Amino acid sequence: MDLPPLSTLSKTQERALLAGLILLGWAFVVLARLFTLQVLEHDSLSKMAHRQQEHLEVIDAPRGSIFDRNGAILAISSNSHIAVVNPKRIPKEKEELAAAMLAGILQQDATQLQANFEKAAGSRTRGGYLVVNDHLTDEQAASLEGMHLDWLEIRQLSVRTYPNNDVAAHVVGNVDWQGIGVAGVERKLDKDLAGTAGLRRTERDGKEVSYESEIVKSPVMGKSVGLTIDRELQFIAKEALKQAVKENGADHGSAVAMNPRTGEILALENYPTFDPNERLLAGEKDLGRKNLAVGTPYEPGSVFKVVTLAAALETTHLGPDSPIDCGNGAMHMYNRVIHDTHPHGVLSLQDVLAFSSNIGAIKIGMEVGNENLYSYIRRFGFGQRTGIELPGEAPGILRALKHWQPTSIGSVPMGHEIGVTTLQLAQMGSVIANGGYLVSPHLVAWEQEPNGPRVARQHAQPVAVLRPETVMKMRMMMRRVVTEPHGTGHRLHLIGYSLAGKTGTAQIYDYDHKVYTHRYNASFLGFAPANNPAIVIVVTVSGTTGAAGFGGTAAGPAFVRLMSSALNRLGIVRDVPEEIDELIAHKGLKPKPEGPDEDSDSDTVAELTTPLTAEEMSSASDTGSLQDEVVAVTNSSAPMAPNFVGKTVRDVIQEATATGIEVDMLGDGLARAQNPPAGTLLNPGEHIRVRFQR
């Protein structure tokens, strides 16, 4: 049909025609768009809609638990609501109000909470997020969710808990707010402990409300791990170190107890320590979190003479009775004069160790020679990591032989120009204690998949280092250190057990003022029983001063307390039982006075011509000389542990109060177990831990 000419149409008809054409064009556009959406872009738009409606959520896998050698829980995970704040989304002027709102519900300090907001907001590592509470109750979680705050998120996560607080903290380590291991075994075995996360698909409506969900991939729980440490020994080591550091005005301390035959670490402690349940705030540093026993090398001093004399027995004509000219207390070497505190003329090789003569050690080292001495230092494991399952292990400091100075042979034999860790010293002591083999210190005993059997962890095989006859001679000489009247360890004693060991006290070098200070790294290395060693223990206390800061005096009491408990815990039979009978017969005698004897020998201050640099000795433990002294830490009036098993809490308290014995009580009901067991001779200040159960 032909349209009439526009000139013949009325104004009304013209407007109607124009409107019709516009509607027709609009309909064409709509149809074209619908064709594009329904036909040409159908697949892509369908996928987009699916993505908007569907949401994939990560399901955290339960983290595997960590146990001690006796099955005690050291770390465990549980589900919990946590409150996470993004302070960067809180307006500056509303920070105080926001902190007050949260503090009222969480029962926290509002001022501290606001300060935490500010620290987290300036942190780059956390992206501004701050966990303000990781154990919300259901009521708290509901109250916070009901506020609908865009800067607050309530999450349900698996929370890591450490039931023993600061005991074994440096061994177990901890996780960060995301559940990732950041220290200790938690970090070293993070992949094994973490497991595999799962996935959940949820369908959401336009208001993002979920109406249907399904698990696409189930989470797989991480492996559980069993450690070689003994939780009770860890506690004793912590308390003994704490006492040693505080009583000697020291900076810090470390201790390692080790099975010399297997390499199992029975205890590894540092003081100060930390509570892994407490998270550091953004920008905070806690020096107590540094694992000194494995990560901080220091010059060992006299303890290192064990390596020098063992090398001499293996590579020279020298024997225990060979005469060594100690120069009446002075020795000229290049531009330095080396002194012994007490002058000695000719000493036997075994007396050089017992009296800890610096000059004697240097003369023996010169007989051994640079190459042989360096070779045996490497054989004993120094200058290399032990491979223990802990992060941040230091290899120590051992200069390559080509970098030794002409005067190095006058320093290295007595423990200078070399940096070692407490763990490495324990490994060294184990060579003498186990018959001449270098074993690999380790912490992990077994691993277990969920619902699977326990699988023993494989470790490196021992490597022969010394001949059996050399080992027997070294044991005998180290025994004389504590039995000879003038031996540097003659006042150190374990009732009922034979003991062998070596003390060391090394002056700390001040790099800022380029002088040797009168602050010491004091240590004691020992094993027992001497003829059939079952345990090796090294205790180091750093930053001590004066005569009370020498190795035996500062580190000796902690060593004896830990060794006594370890021998009892492991049920090691006493090899000197007659001492027990004598003790009982003479119980009530006054104890022998404590304190260093006037006639006890000590090492000499010897200035180093080529001290380790500050970079080489980052722990600032470069040393000049050594002074060795030991103080008695047991006495003939030592009390015996009563038998608390089967008694009530009230009865235990009354008996403990009457006898003056310190008791740590765990649980309630009747006493089911105690440590040390009944009849054990208690060291001064030693506590008895009693476990109660209904």
Res 599: pLDDT: 34
Angle in degrees, 0-180, between the axes of helices 305-315 and 422-433, rounded to the nearest 10 = 40
Structural domain spans, the chain: 57-227, 231-275+288-444+464-585, 649-693
Instruction: Report the residue count for the chain.
Output: 694
Task: Look up the pTM and report it.
Answer: 0.75
Residue of 192, 101, 202 lying closest to 146 (CA atoms): 101
* Residue 584 confidence (pLDDT): 58
| CA quadruple 614, 509, 250, 395: dihedral sign | positive
Token readout for 132 is 């303000």
Tell me what pLDDT residue 601 has. Answer: 37
Q: Which token pair is 411?
A: 């320093």
Q: What is the pLDDT of residues 478-509, one digit of tens each?
A: 999 999 988 888 888 888 899 999 999 888 87
Contact 412, 244 (CB under 8 A): no
Residue type (1 letter), 131: V
Rg, Å, the chain Cα set: 35
Contacts 24+ apart (CB under 8 A), 330-336: 330/359, 331/359, 331/362, 331/363, 333/362, 333/407, 333/410, 334/406, 334/407, 334/410, 334/609, 335/609, 336/407, 336/410, 336/606, 336/607, 336/609
Question: What is the third-level CATH fold of 231-275+288-444+464-585?
Answer: Beta-lactamase (3.40.710)
Helix (H), strand (E) at residue 200: strand 198-204
Nearest to 365 by CA among 401, 411, 329: 411
Q: What is the pLDDT of residue 285?
A: 57
Contact 410, 333 (CB under 8 A): yes
Provide the pLDDT for residue 598. Answer: 32
Q: How many CA atoms lie within 13 A of 476 on its CB side?
A: 13
Other C-beta atoms closer than 10 Å to the C-beta of 152 total 19
Class of domain 57-227 (CATH, top level): alpha beta
Residue 582, φ and ψ in degrees, nearest 5: -65, -40
Helix (H) or strand (E) holding 518: strand 515-528
pLDDT digits (tens, 9 = 90+) for 394-403: 999 999 999 9
CB 145 within 8 A of CB 107: no
| Residue whose entry in the numeric block shows the structure tokens 């380029």 | 514
- What crossing angle do the helices spanning 110-121 and 95-106 adopt, rounded to 10°? 120
Residue 203 class from Cβ within 10 Å (0-12 exposed, 13-18 middle, 19+ buried)? middle
Helix (H, G, I), strand (E, B) or coil at 68: coil
Question: Residue ranges of the chain with pLDDT lower than 50?
Answer: 126, 209, 282, 587-609, 618-637
Map tokens 């309909």 to a residue: 27
Q: How many CB atoms lie within 10 A of CB 37?
A: 11
Can you list the positions of beta strands (E) in 34-117? 54-59, 66-67, 73-85
